[in-house]
Structure 1
Amino acid sequence: MPDRSLPTHFPSGPPGRPTPHWRRSPGRSGTRPSSRSPGRSLARTASHPAASAAARLPWSSPPPSRTDLVPRYRPAVNRGFTRAGPAAPEPGDPRCCSRQRLAPRLDPALNPNAWHLSSTRCPARTLSSGSRPPVPGHNRRGLSVVRAEDSVMNVHYLARKARRFMAGVVQLSEHRDRPEGEPPVLAGRLPLVGHLPKLLKNPLAFLASLPKEDEVTTVFIGGQPIYFLTSHRLVRSLLTGKSGAFTRGLVFEKAAKVFGQGIIVSDGEQHHRNRRLIQPAFHQSKIEHYVEIMRSVVEKRTGAWEAGQPFTLNAETYETAVEVLTRTLFRSDLADRAAGNVKRAFPGIVAGISAQALYPFPWMEKLPLPVNRRYERSAALFHDVVKAVIAEQRKNPAQDDSLLGTLISARDEDNAFSEEQLRDETVTMLIAGAETVSTTLAWFFHELARHPEVEQRLVDELQTRLGDRPISFQDFRQLPYTAAAINEAVRLHHPNWFLSRRAVSSVTLGGHRIPAGGEVAFSPSTMNRDPEVFDDPLRFDPDRWLDGRTDDLPRSAYMPFGVGRHKCVGDTYALAELTVSIACIARRWKLTHQPGKRVREVPWTTVQPADLVMVAQPRRNA
């Protein structure tokens, strides 16, 4: 192996001649000696602590004559020489940059090149400008020369610089000059993505952690500012405020690809007209008829359950809710075909709405991503199914007491729903009605299994008031504890975790200015768990609705179906379906959690229970 222990500079060489790059120490930048007298430079260098330590190292022996070095410059003579520099040192060589040899190389007392690995400026920088010592790893001015390929320590050096740069950018973004009165920006905003990583990591915990002092906090999803309301008083003001001040927001805009101009998405005069035409379909006389259909569907599906067989409860409640909706919405001969297609298309629609609402950049909706393409296919399938069913149902409108038949015959000053409007309203009821009711029902039985004392009181009430007869609409008022348990389940597990509105013009909320076009959002799920409103808010306690603790609550504290112009038009339908389902299931089956499963909240279009696997056992007196 050739001897590579050569000096790193040549004081006996001609003045101004640079150090050949093939003789530089491995992992170091070469230097050019001073153009002044070499003797004076070496005299000054002798006092350098690194230079005095270098005299003890093997490659700091007296330099050979230039004629002795010539063969070493030739690749034909010295295989260790290349134009790119000397060959890499082998393990065991004192110049090796392995982990075992790295620590001594960082000590300036042992290695004069250690200044290159440190962020500290070399002491040679303090010498007079007349002469600079040719310290290895520095330029003529004594500054450290750093290149990516020079040292293994450069990875850490660049990482430190990147962290400092990003911290500076974040600090500037958080303390930027805001227009007077604009809500404060939540700390921790990142460039490009804003607060989106924290929101996606744990959405409910993130929204619950928003500061309540200012009542309005700016959260960035990508570059889009979202003004979050943390006061239930401001939320009610937002929902019941002056007509035309706010329109439907970001979430509803993304859902319009499926819902069209249905009642859940439309606004203004269009929404008012749609609501006026739809309301007769949810009259009390209609609900009484729907209750009979609901009971027959639930009894049929739960009658097929196998004792002791585990099953995913939220999947079962969703299929039951879809079947209930299709049988009340369509004629019985068309319901089965529609139900199958709805179940196939629904997952793609839910995933598409959720993903596009949280995209940090709007142009991502147009990318050929799997979720986007599935969303488009599912929406097209949904629309085709609904249009086909409407066309079939129009052929025989006589004696049609279904919900869709009511919509077809609805008139407003001799004007009826168009084909497109009928499709949009039908799609809205199928998606919104099935998702919210099924989710609430799954959470209800989850809490019932966790609280046996609540379950026993509920079953006792059902058996005392109903006996063995089937439930009817007239029985609802005789079940106060059941109604309180439903209210508590909706409070603790509200299906909607993110809703928004868009300001038409500049407005003021809570003393903060919201610019025109600003997205104003709120979270019903976190508002219903506010400890300032509800005592012990995370506890499932139906008695809070019976013992007077909630009598003095402000009207804005609990809004299960919304308020104002956009209050849910099918709230009585949803409560009827929940009551019928609970009465049919709880009197016949006792549901318990499968051991080893941990139920988690997963915010999607609604807050879904993950891993809710339960086991059904028949009740002894059923």
Structure 2
Amino acid sequence: MTTLPGALPLLGHVPRFARNPLDFLASLSTHGDLVRIKLGPHTAYAVCHPTLVHELLVADRTFDKGGPVYDKLREFGGNGLGTCPAAEHRRQRRMIQPVFHRDRMPDHAQVMCQEIAALTTPWHHGQTLDVPAEMHHLTTAVTVRCLFDAGTDRAGFPTLSSSFGALTTGFTRRLMWPVPAVHRLPTPANRRFERARLHVHRVTDALISDRRAAGADDDNLMSVLIGPDADGVSLSDTEVHDQVLAFLLAGVESAANALSWAWHLIGTHPDVQTRLHAEVDTVLAGRPARLTDMESLELSGRIVTETLRLYPPDSLSTRTTSTDAVLGGHPLPAGASVIYSPYQLHRRADLYPDPDRFDPDRWQDIDRPPPGTWVPFGGGPRKCIADSFSNILATLTLATVAARWQLCPIPGRTVRPGGHAFVVPKGLSMRLHRRPRVCLTSGSVA
């Protein structure tokens, strides 16, 4: 184990991390496979090798959900499936798993297709598109319909996207500067965060009250949450609230960011865009994509995989050792904070040649990446329960939109990664160009 040099008194490596978090994370592997860093006065251990990350993720009871990221997430996001400790996780996952079973995907995909059509119908040739806003609108609609059997026309839903943005920005500040007194000051940023927090919680409560009034029908996540589990035990109101809030945050924010990055990468790589258009013209012949097209949309799927490699939803994740542990032959004390970064792992040159290059073809003939090398959804028992759901939504969206539209970068606009824990595209607007319609019968264009 090595110690990262350059720690400042009291602050440790926080200033370097705050100044350029992604570069800081990507550089850690140059110092070793397990690196001791200082976050203020606290010591944390950064796991930089895929084999060790796999060990970390598989041993979920030893390396439990916790540490700086999850401690802060629980403060405003509750104790849902993604943040709860291992002792509570198995029961929660068993309850929720049927909602994401493969047998449910045709119904989910049908809703996805309807919402993609609703999103794109008002688009027009030459329009300047706020890509993240559009993708947030889509993922919000899909999430609340598929998981909560709700519509997006009720009060509060149209502004969820901006509230999530304020929450993630405020979360980053609290993670970088964990001084509670500072975040209680009545600054504009703190007021925005508090308004967003209250708004998201109000929407969450409204979703729950609407479903309780309608009654459980066993078809969606909300019905599962408010009904009894296999042992006849029901979740408390607080537990239901935390689960709904967790799926809102994850289902909307992570999926929207991934789709936004995909459009940016496609638009800035004309060769990939040309091939994508050729694929959708061949497979779809002018119609929207369907779930049954997934296997034929090979390039579309590889674009999603490569986008998640370059810009995983979370740049870093943390764990806490529940007992004295050993990782990679190095002893770690109970209560230690352990960090791993999907962003750092995905940009290791020994795992991915020319790692900063967008190359969907690097995934040809790869059924399953080696353990620990591609972890946008985590791994082990805590792997994201909605990974297949998210992949289907992303692939159907890319294919359906690409069949009718070309999203072009706007000259002079700079797009950059923003955020710290969440990798979000800043400044991403694109110009819409309508593509020729492909005739369903002859394959000709019109």
Does the alignment reach a TM-score above 0.5? yes
Alignment of 1:463-502 (within 5 A): 463-502=281-320
Are residue 608 (structure 1) and residue 434 (structure 2) matched? no
Distance 1:247 1:445, change over 3 A: closer
Residue in 2 that maps onto 1:64: none
Aligned residues: 438
Match of 2:35, SS state, is strand
Alignment of 1:401-416 (within 5 A): 401-409=219-227, 411-416=229-234
Give 1:409 shift.
Answer: 3.5
Are residue 582 (structure 1) and residue 393 (structure 2) matched? no
In structure 2, distance between residues paired with 1:403 and 1:416: 14
In structure 1, distance between residues paired with 2:294 and 2:350: 31
In structure 2, distance between residues paired with 1:288 and 1:248: 35
Give 1:258 shift.
Answer: 2.5
The answer (yes or no) to whether the contact 1:334–1:389 under 8 Å persists in 2 is no
Are residue 507 (structure 1) and residue 309 (structure 2) matched? no
Distance 1:587 1:516, change over 3 A: same
Distance 1:189 1:305, change over 3 A: same
Match of 2:318, SS state, is strand
In structure 2, distance between residues paired with 1:523 and 1:451: 26
Match of 2:7, SS state, is coil
The answer (yes or no) to whether the contact 1:295–1:580 under 8 Å persists in 2 is yes
The answer (yes or no) to whether the contact 2:28–2:344 under 8 Å persists in 1 is no
Give 1:484 shift.
Answer: 1.4
In structure 2, distance between residues paired with 1:369 and 1:225: 30
Equivalent residue letter for 1:289: D
The answer (yes or no) to whether the contact 2:21–2:420 under 8 Å persists in 1 is no
Q: What CA deviation, in whole Å up to 9, does each residue of 1:297-332 have, x standing for no partner?
A: 121222212321223212221122112212223334
Alignment of 1:177-216 (within 5 A): 183-212=1-30, 214-216=32-34
Alignment of 1:81-230 (within 5 A): 183-212=1-30, 214-230=32-48
Match of 2:59 among 214, 223, 241: 241
Equivalent residue letter for 1:596: G
Give 1:221 shift.
Answer: 2.0
Q: What CA deviation, in whole Å up to 9, does each residue of 1:573-612 have, x standing for no partner?
A: 1111101211221111101110111221113442111221
Alignment of 1:588-599 (within 5 A): 588-599=404-415
Residue in 2 that maps onto 1:270: 88
In structure 2, distance between residues paired with 1:490 and 1:590: 21
Residue in 1 that maps onto 2:72: 254
In structure 1, distance between residues paired with 2:60 and 2:437: 55
Are residue 392 (structure 1) and residue 210 (structure 2) matched? yes
The answer (yes or no) to whether the contact 2:406–2:434 under 8 Å persists in 1 is yes
In structure 1, distance between residues paired with 2:368 and 2:207: 48
Residue in 2 that maps onto 1:107: none
Residue in 1 that maps onto 2:370: 554
Match of 1:435, SS state, is helix
Equivalent residue letter for 1:357: L
The answer (yes or no) to whether the contact 1:259–1:427 under 8 Å persists in 2 is yes
Are residue 435 (structure 1) and residue 258 (structure 2) matched? no
Match of 1:428, SS state, is helix
Unaligned runs of 5+ residues in structure 1 are: 1-182
In structure 2, distance between residues paired with 1:448 and 1:334: 29
The answer (yes or no) to whether the contact 1:249–1:519 under 8 Å persists in 2 is yes
Match of 1:542 among 357, 360, 368: 360
In structure 2, distance between residues paired with 1:542 and 1:244: 35
Q: What CA deviation, in whole Å up to 9, does each residue of 1:259-312 have, x standing for no partner?
A: 211001111231111111111111223221121211111212222123212232
Are residue 321 (structure 1) and residue 139 (structure 2) matched? yes
Distance 1:285 1:589, change over 3 A: same
Residue in 2 that maps onto 1:351: 169
Give 1:354 shift.
Answer: 1.3
**Higher-Rg member (1/2):** 1
Equivalent residue letter for 2:24: F
Match of 2:141, SS state, is helix
Give 1:248 shift.
Answer: 2.2
In structure 2, distance between residues paired with 1:448 and 1:344: 25
User: Which structure would you say has the larger RCO, counting Cα contacts within 8 Å and 6 or more residues apart?
Assistant: 2
Residue in 2 that maps onto 1:146: none
Are residue 310 (structure 1) and residue 114 (structure 2) matched? no
In structure 2, distance between residues paired with 1:275 and 1:287: 18
Are residue 526 (structure 1) and residue 344 (structure 2) matched? yes
Distance 1:348 1:447, change over 3 A: closer
In structure 2, distance between residues paired with 1:388 and 1:458: 41
Residue in 1 that maps onto 2:437: 621
Give 1:372 shift.
Answer: 4.0
Residue in 1 that maps onto 2:379: 563
Match of 1:337, SS state, is coil
The percent identity for this pair of structures is: 32
Are residue 288 (structure 1) and residue 109 (structure 2) matched? no
Match of 1:225, SS state, is strand
The answer (yes or no) to whether the contact 1:248–1:267 under 8 Å persists in 2 is yes
In structure 1, distance between residues paired with 2:61 and 2:201: 31
Equivalent residue letter for 1:569: I
RMSD: 2.2
Match of 1:197, SS state, is helix
Residue in 2 that maps onto 1:375: 193
Give 1:572 shift.
Answer: 1.3
Distance 1:254 1:471, change over 3 A: same
In structure 2, distance between residues paired with 1:334 and 1:400: 21
In structure 1, distance between residues paired with 2:140 and 2:239: 21
Distance 1:583 1:211, change over 3 A: closer
In structure 2, distance between residues paired with 1:552 and 1:471: 24
Distance 1:306 1:583, change over 3 A: same
Match of 1:439, SS state, is helix
In structure 2, distance between residues paired with 1:252 and 1:233: 23
In structure 1, distance between residues paired with 2:326 and 2:180: 27
Distance 1:223 1:573, change over 3 A: same
Residue in 2 that maps onto 1:35: none
Distance 1:333 1:309, change over 3 A: closer
Equivalent residue letter for 2:285: G
